[in-house]
Amino acid sequence: MPTFHDPLADAAEASEALRGLAHASRVFDNPADTYTVFGDLIAGLRSLRQVLDQLANTHLAARDRAFDDDGSPVAGAAEALAAADELHQAGTLLDQAHDRLAASFTHSGRIAWHTQPTPEQTAVRDRITARLDGDPATTTAQVGTLTLAVWPDAPVGEHQRYAYRITNTTGQAVEGRDLFTGAGTPVKPDRALRDLAGYLSAAAETQQYAFYHPGSAPDHAGLFPTWVAEAAHANTDALTDLSEHRPSEPAAGRRWLNVVFLQGDEADQVLDVIDREGTDAAIEHLKGWDYGDETTDAALENGYVYDEPPTGALDRIVTAADYTLTYAHAHGHVALLRAYDVPPDPALEDTDVVSAREAISGVGSLERSTARARRRPTARAPQAPKREVDWFAGPTRSSSSAGQGLSL
């Protein structure tokens, strides 16, 4: 229960109440109940706005009692003023959130919730289910309230393409044929599902960014209809689990070893090359970090060898011959990987195999003479002068991303 006089106790109770609400609001048995929660949240935001102002005023009024750890009153007063200023700015942003929440409250109040979907919506859902169950080429995954389905489509040049369908439990559905996932080598359906989940996660992040930055034009805006982005935001955790899943692959075959991974200012230099001259020029530039056997030995010894190029939800992938370039403007990193064909391991020949029973009973030899690659110092390619990074700029947009659909 609130005390109305002890800010420490009431702040702790408010935090715990919000944590409980976050847990309880994961599922609503009756969607109409959301209207009541809207009203309480708006009242809570108004009170929170008042709390921010009062915190700022306390810092201003008591700044003559502020010192830093070295006992300097000048530094302490400066920190108190800075804290008050940040609190006032947080209050301004909270006003924007209040206005958006109030607008959402108004729209929600115009909804007449029914206990069941209409017969037409049910029929659409049944047709989609029947189509999915009857098509062996379709791979599906249930992600929270969303059903994702992908199936191979005709490639466009070297780019592999999948068609996809996204269905919500409300009966809403959207289809597309612009899921480009990799180039050259055919892509498995589970990889296409992970990439689709990654783009949905990006759409959810974009919606949240646009909410807090009205009038902005972030990357990935407009990839999907609004209802898809909203549903993706409601199922963020499940989408993240799917997009980050990496199934195991057979031990033998082609792998990818890391040549170089750059981030920060070093990556910005290469991202500028991509924007100005294209990905081929960036690959040629990064090949300067490849020292052949030395790079191979270092990657093998340090475990930088992968069944497929590691990528994030917002990464783009370009493959040229034996090299694969991955990059993300939003996260500011670039990586180059080289194909590596795993040679047969002589230690695995049948003549050297010892059964579990022999090993336990002491029969046979468990010794193996395997050569271990020795790591040699690797020189780094010369780097161009670093450019200044604007940390306050919004998400940048790659000039090569327009009109390519859901392409990595």
Measured distance CA(52)–CA(55) in Å, rounded: 5
pLDDT at 181: 75
Residue 324: name the closest of 258, 267, 373, 230 by CA. 258
Measured distance CA(319)–CA(336) in Å, rounded: 10
Strand order from edge to edge, sheet including 254-263: 305-306, 254-263, 333-341, 323-328, 316-320
Task: Please give the C-alpha separations between residue 388 and each of 32, 150, 263, 395, in angstroms, as whole numbers.
Answer: 51, 42, 14, 16
Measured distance CA(350)–CA(330) in Å, rounded: 50
Measured distance CA(193)–CA(182) in Å, rounded: 13
Q: Which amino acid is at 366?
A: L
Residue 245: name the closest of 201, 301, 186, 300 by CA. 201
Cβ–Cβ < 8 Å for 113, 102: no
Structure tokens at 314: 């917002």
In tens, the pLDDT along 305-333 reads: 888 777 765 678 888 778 988 888 777 88
What are the backbone angles phi and psi of residue 170, rounded to the nearest 5°? -80, -5
pLDDT at 385: 43
Structure tokens at 189: 């359906």
Q: What three-state secondary structure class fits 152?
A: strand
List average pLDDT for each run of 10 residues in the chain, which is 408 residues long.
89 89 82 90 92 94 93 93 93 90 89 80 59 60 87 77 86 85 73 87 80 67 81 86 59 75 88 87 90 87 81 74 84 87 58 44 42 40 44 41 46
Structure tokens at 59: 């810092």
Largest CA distance in the chain: 84
pLDDT at 353: 47
pLDDT at 178: 83
Query: Which value, to the nearest 10 degrees, does the dihedral of the CA atoms of residues 208, 212, 214, 219 take?
Result: -40
Cβ–Cβ < 8 Å for 191, 162: no
Residue 327: name the closest of 270, 380, 406, 277 by CA. 270
C-beta atoms surrounding 224 within 10 Å:
23
pLDDT at 128: 55
Q: What three-state secondary structure class fits 96?
A: helix
- What is the pTM (predicted TM-score) of this model? 0.36
Measured distance CA(192)–CA(48) in Å, rounded: 44
Sort strands 173-183 and 406-407 into parallel, antiparallel or unpaired: parallel
Q: What number of CA atoms fall less than 13 Å from residue 208's CA on the CB side?
A: 11
Domain boundaries, the chain: 31-109, 119-243, 254-407
pLDDT at 40: 92
Bridge partners (DSSP) listed for residue 338: 257, 323
pLDDT at 113: 87
